[in-house]
Amino acid sequence: MKKAGKLIILGLLAIALFAFFACKAEKPAETAAAPVEAKSKYADQLYVEVSALNSLEYFYDHKEGMRLVGEDLGVKTEYTGPADYDMNAVSAAIEQAVAKGAAGIVVVGWEESLNGAVNSAIEKGVPVITVDADIPTSNRLAFVGTSNFNAGVELGNWVAEKLGGTGKVAMLGMPTLSNIRDRMDGVKSAFAKTKIQIVQIGDSKTDAVGSAQTAAEILLKYPDLNALMGIDSHSGLGIGTALREANKVGKVLATGFDRDNSLLELVEEGVVTATVVQRTALMPYYATLILWQLHNSKVSLTKDDKASNVLNIPGFVDTGVMIVTKDTARSFIR
């Protein structure tokens, strides 16, 4: 009897479970499928940044800026260009972006040799904005980046204050580049009202090895040098190496430019006194925002900006700089 009772109970449970799942199956599965994200109405628009020297850590922020603006706007973004300093490859990458149907192109304006590719893209209806380094002799629509002259003034004033307005200083950078020349001019402007003497401007070549060699030569030539200023993204590392090898750490005020982790570590250690940090990720981010506005925004100055030949965008956006010292270097390390 006990066995029969157990069988009856099990049978009733099976019938109940069958009825339960049958009822569930009859109801529409309202939450069974995963929610599908609505496709952005701008998802087919492609914005491309083209640069060179992309093997440098400096351009990590450029890549991040493009990735983030793509996510925020719901558009496709790409970052491309050669790992070395090859302007022919940069021009070819601009042409390839046009061929792919890019809605807009962001270009680091390394030098005027890029004018032909930039102007050609614009003639074909693809707007181009330069970032980081400008080529104002081209037909680019705007420039977004650091006011390099103002950055040089800010750095020059900071160094002048640390030196008490007097001393011998050398600068290190790639003087063939317009953005570096502008920074150097800004430093010279700041020093003009002091007793500081710029004894030499050295070529940092294209990497930290080349800049270390130039820095070592300067330190040997001027044993009484008070400051050695790095004006581009790899010169600070070279200066740090040269100071260590010459046993002059702490004896010569040293500055770098930008925020490579290895450079920030030198600042934290006190080998390099300070570095100038740009808001690099904002450059391609804001440039893409402007390009997106050209295609999609209804904001205007006239009843019909296009018919009136009015370009309703800022011609220059200064993203600014900060001077980072030992006290704050750790927070800038990626």
Contacts of 261 (CB under 8 A, 6+ apart): 57, 333, 334
Residue 13 has pLDDT above 50, yes or no: no
CA-angle at 46, arms to 258 and 40, nearest 5°: 110
Alpha helices in 254-332 (DSSP H): 261-269, 282-296, 329-332
What is the residue-wise DSSP string for 180-209? Answer: HHHHHHHHHHHHTTSEEEEEEEEE-TTSHH
Q: 211 or 30: which carries more pLDDT confidence? A: 211
DSSP SS3 for 256 = strand
Q: Which residues contact 43 (CB under 8 A, 6 or more apart)?
A: 74, 75, 76
Q: Which two tokens stand for residue 292?
A: 């997106």
Cα–Cα dist 211/302, whole Å: 51
Residue 79: both structure tokens together: 């970052």
Least confident of 4-18, 296-310, 316-330: 4-18
Q: What is the pLDDT of residue 308?
A: 83
Residues 6 or more apart whose CB falls under 8 angstroms from that of 224 comprise 168
Average pLDDT over residues 290-301: 92
Return d(Cα 158, Cα 276) in angstroms, integer. Answer: 11
Query: What SS3 state is found at 106?
Result: strand
Give the model's confidence band at 309: pLDDT under 50 very low, under 70 low, under 90 confident, else very high: confident
Residue 58 to residue 108: CA distance in whole angstroms:
13
CATH number of this structure's domain 148-278: 3.40.50.2300
pLDDT digits (tens, 9 = 90+) for 234-290: 999 999 999 999 999 999 999 999 988 999 999 999 999 999 999 999 999 999 999
Per-domain residue ranges for the chain? 46-145+280-297+307-319, 148-278
| Of 267, 181, 277, 266, the residue nearest 233 (C-alpha) | 277
The reply to whether 46-145+280-297+307-319 and 148-278 are identical in fold is yes
- Segment 161-180 shows an average pLDDT of 94
**Max mean pLDDT range (91-100, 230-239, 311-320):** 91-100
Burial 194-207 (b: 16+ CB within 10 A, else e): bebebbbbbbbbeb
Q: Tell me the three state secondary structure of residue 83.
A: coil
At which residue do the structure tokens 């680091």 appear? 108
Taking each helix axis as running N to C, give the angle between helix 115-123 and helix 87-99, from 0 to 180 degrees, rounded to the nearest 10: 10
Could you please state the CATH topology (level 3) that the domain comprising 46-145+280-297+307-319 is classified under.
Rossmann fold (3.40.50)
Can you tell me the distance from the alpha carbon of 106 to that of 50, in angstroms, rounded to the nearest whole number? 6
Least confident range of 20-29, 209-218, 283-292:
20-29
Distance, first Cα to last Cα, the chain: 76
Average pLDDT over residues 282-311: 91
Q: Which amino acid is at 301?
A: L
Q: Identify the pLDDT of residue 37.
A: 52
Share of the chain above pLDDT 90, in %: 78
Tokens of 29: 């599965």
Could you tell me if 187 and 153 are in contact, meaning their C-beta atoms sit under 8 angstroms apart? yes
233: pLDDT confidence band, cut at 50, 70 and 90? Answer: confident
| C-alpha–C-alpha distance, residues 49 and 284, integer Å | 7
The contacts of residue 104 (CB under 8 Å, 6+ apart) are 47, 48, 126, 127, 128, 129, 288, 291, 292, 294, 295
Average pLDDT over residues 301-309: 85
Question: If residue 224 lies in a helix (H) or strand (E), which one and from where to where?
Answer: none
The answer to which of 10-14, 29-33, 160-164, 229-233 has the lowest mean pLDDT is: 29-33
**Residue 9 pLDDT class (50, 70, 90 cuts):** very low
